[in-house]
């Protein structure tokens, strides 16, 4: 099943290749000392805490047999992981029983980095594998006064990651209606009320959802016929039945 041992491992191993261009050379060292707070806004402090600068991380070595769950959808986020051997998949089961795989993670790769308090994706062993879990709670707080900005920028990266993952899951094997419903709900949630003013053209929407402009237009018209939305004008959408739209998505 699963055995474990604490191991002192140097987490970095020259993998930190992040380097957004430095004309100043120092940049890579200075710009990224970012503490981490997976959604500090919504989480209790005891689970968070920034990164201890400098300390080598103690990771817990875990072994999983093929097919076993490493963590499940909904589990509290306590760690992120690195694959030492084998392959891991991160995936989501949709309400209609379909499975969407977010990614495969092979030796040396990191998985389990998610924003928010709990895992939206499950992780499972594709093959027998060994992973190292790095607990967030084991990391010392990074709370110097300068830490705030770093924390913030790290939070930005995590938020971008969350959005990107959601986008990928939206694009995989969902119908045009599901994609468009999700899109409209997304924009409705950014504003207040049931009115959505779309800033973009049908072509933009199509290119975002991986559809053609004609399909977007037809689906929008169908939603209107089905009284899910009203379309006072092509860019102005009124949600008439948000719950039915939500049902399409889930």
Partner DNA sequence: CGCATACTTGAACAATGTCAACCTGTGTGG
Partner DNA sequence: CCACACAGGTTGACATTGTTCAAGTATGCG
Footprint (CB under 8 A) of its own copies, residues 160-219 = 160-161, 163-165, 167-168, 171-173, 189-192, 199-200, 204, 207-211
Cβ nearer to its own copies, comparing 4 with 189: 189
Residue 221 binding target from its own copies, DNA, none, CB below 5 to 8 Å by type: DNA
In the block, residue with structure tokens 């879990």: 133
Rounded CA separation 183/177 (Å) = 10
Considering the rule CB under 7 A, would residue 94 count as an interface residue with DNA?
no
Q: Is 149 in the site for its own copies (CB under 8 A)?
A: yes
Q: Is 229 in the site for DNA (CB under 7 A)?
A: no
165 or 219: CB nearest its own copies: 165
Q: Are 71 and 112 in contact (CB under 8 A)?
A: yes
* 192: exposed, middle or buried (Cβ count in 10 Å: 0-12, 13-18, 19+): exposed
φ and ψ at residue 82, rounded to 5 degrees: -130, 135
Q: Single out the segment in contact with DNA by CB under 7 A; choices: 42-50, 144-152, 173-181, 239-247.
A: 173-181
The residues, any chain, with a CB within 8 Å of residue 25's CB and separated by 6 or more, are none
Report the C-alpha gap between 211 and 207 in whole angstroms. Answer: 6
For DNA, the binding residue among 210, 238, 242, 244 (CB under 7 A) is 210
């Amino acid at each position: 099943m699963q055995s474990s041992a604490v191991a002192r491992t140097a987490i970095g191993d020259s993998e930190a290749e992040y380097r957004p261009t430095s004309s100043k050379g120092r940049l890579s060292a200075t710009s990224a000392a970012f503490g981490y707070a997976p959604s500090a806004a919504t989480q209790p402090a005891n689970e968070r805490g920034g990164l201890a600068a400098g300390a080598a991380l103690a990771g817990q070595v875990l072994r999983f047999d093929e097919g076993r769950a490493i963590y499940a959808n909904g589990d509290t986020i306590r760690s992120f992981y690195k694959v030492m051997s084998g392959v891991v998949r991160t995936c989501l089961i949709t309400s209609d029983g379909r499975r969407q795989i977010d990614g495969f993670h092979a030796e040396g790769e990191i998985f389990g980095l998610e924003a928010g308090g709990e895992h939206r994706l499950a992780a499972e062993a594709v093959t027998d594998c060994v992973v190292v879990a790095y607990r967030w709670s084991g990391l010392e707080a990074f709370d110097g006064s300068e830490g705030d900005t770093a924390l913030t920028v790290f939070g930005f990266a995590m938020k971008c990651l969350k959005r990107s993952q959601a986008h990928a899951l939206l694009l995989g094997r969902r119908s045009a209606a599901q994609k468009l419903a999700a899109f409209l709900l997304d924009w409705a949630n950014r504003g207040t009320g049931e009115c959505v003013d779309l800033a973009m053209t049908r072509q933009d929407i199509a290119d975002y959802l991986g559809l053609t402009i004609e399909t977007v237009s037809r689906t929008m018209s169908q939603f209107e016929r089905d009284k899910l939305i009203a379309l006072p004008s092509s860019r102005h959408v009124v949600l008439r039945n948000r719950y039915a739209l939500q049902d399409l998505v889930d």
